Amino acid sequence: MFTTFSDERAKTLVELLRKFGTRMAFYQKNVAHSLGVFHTDLKCADIINENGPMHPSLLAKEKGLTTGTITTLIDRLVDAGYVRRENDPTDRRKILISSNKKEQQKIKDIHIPLAESIAELCDKYSDEELNFIFDFMDQVTKIVHTETGNIKKVD
């Protein structure tokens, strides 16, 4: 286990994850461009698709955006057909944003070549190794989610 950042293995791993994150950011930007939406809009559509219907204020908090910005972003996603506004069944004063499954399929389809390449890579590993990788990636995702909320503005 890595106990300090001075551990060379930890440094190497952090560097590889940073490189992975950079490549994924560019990949996702290109996917968004091919679908005719902004990168941030596509990521918000992904969050809505992952979590199910959600209040715009929760989405704004999740992405670190203002409610005004999230309203404009949701307008663009509604216009593009990726999400829809629905009345909140528990509070008539509120709305929920939910994904449009038909349009979400377009997003899934564009990822098929990447998914196939990753599946080929997975064939090289045992079930035990893959289970370790799955757990590791899940934990890294949770850490990144937590740390995203801890980022402070740099002067």
Note the pLDDT tens digit of each residue in 13-64: 999 999 999 999 999 999 999 999 999 999 999 999 888 999 999 999 888 8
Instruction: Give per-residue pLDDT as tens, 67-96.
Output: 899 999 999 999 999 999 999 999 989 999
How many CB atoms are closer than 10 A to CB 58? 14
Give dist(CA 41, CA 32) in Å, integer. 8
E strand or H helix at 99: strand 95-99
Element (H, E) at 96: strand 95-99
Separation CA 104–CA 133 (nearest Å): 27
Secondary structure (DSSP) of 21-72: HHHHHHHHHHHHHHHTS-HHHHHHHHHHHHH-SB-HHHHHHHHT--HHHHHH
- Please report, for the chain, the start and end positions of each structural domain, with discontinuous segments joined by +: 10-110
Give residue 153's pLDDT: 74
- pTM reported for the whole predicted model: 0.77
Query: Structurally, what CATH architecture does the domain formed by 10-110 represent?
Result: Orthogonal Bundle (1.10)
Which pair of tokens denotes residue 103? 């349009």
**What tokens were used for 76?**
């663009």
Q: Is 86 helix (H, G, I), strand (E, B) or coil?
A: strand
